[in-house]
Amino acid sequence: MGEKTRCEWAGELPIYIDYHDTEWGRPVREDAKLFEFLILETMQAGLSWITVLKKREAYREAFDGFNPHKMAAYDGAKVEELMANAGIIRNRLKIESVIHNAKVYLEILEKHGSFSKLLWAYVDDTPIVGHPETLADIPATTPLSDRISKDLKKMGFKFVGSTTIYAFMQAVGLVNDHMRHCFVYEELL
């Protein structure tokens, strides 16, 4: 059996190949996992995804396993502790937004019962299938990512611009943007 054909962006780094093969674009419906991806995508804003992916375990440790109840209770001392943590990206605005977003996330759970149902309703519970032949065929934003971004901002989320939200949509499988020649593309149909 030959080598699997992947999206070109997966490159040759084992951590990236594993992420591509086992996570990216696969539908995520668990609230906690969606929250983790949203936090990681907001931390990635303006940086490369590989930077965040390599620090993912450090983020899990620093943010108490992405427990929103614990994160929402972080105080100034915890912010300073996080700012001193060399394992994560030490951007005060992003760290403070994560704490704020944890509070908003908990409000959404209380109000809507499920973050997953809220998000998946945007795509009628069925992933949008892109048909990219090349990386140039994949947009940075779409009218839907614009809409979700706007709605999340109205709910109170920060660092959720349309580009960040489109990357989030791709990561959690709201959109299947695997290349048509990629083995995962067919698996997700």
DSSP state of 51: H
**What separation in angstroms does the CA of 69 have from each of 66, 105, 111?**
9, 10, 16
Residue 184 is which amino acid? Answer: V
Mean pLDDT over all residues of the chain? 96
> Is-catalytic flag, 80?
no
Phi/psi at 27 (5° precision): -55, 125
Give the active site residue among 9, 19, 23, 96: 19
Residue among 134, 109, 176, 187 nearest 9 (CA): 134
pTM: 0.95
- What are the sequence ranges of the domains in the chain? 9-187
Q: How far is CA 90 from CA 42, 43, 78, 82, 132, in A?
A: 13, 10, 13, 7, 35
At 11, the amino acid letter reads G
Token code pair at residue 4: 């699997």
Phi, psi of 175 (to 5 degrees): -130, 135
The better pLDDT of the pair 46, 122 is held by: 122
Is 49 assigned a catalytic role? yes
With left for phi above 0 and alpha for psi between -120 and 50, is residue 64 left, alpha or beta?
Answer: left
Average pLDDT of span 131-159: 96
Catalytic residue among 41, 105, 120, 185: 41
Residue of 9, 49, 96, 122 marked active site: 49
Alpha-carbon separation of residue 107 from 31, 69, 76, 120, 156 (angstroms): 13, 11, 21, 18, 10
pLDDT at 2 over 70: no
* pLDDT tens digits along 63-104: 999 999 999 999 999 999 999 999 999 999 999 999 999 999
pLDDT bracket for residue 1 (50, 70, 90): very low
9-187 — its CATH code? 1.10.340.30
The b-or-e profile of 149-167 (16+ CB within 10 A means b, else e) is beebeebebbbbbbbbbbb
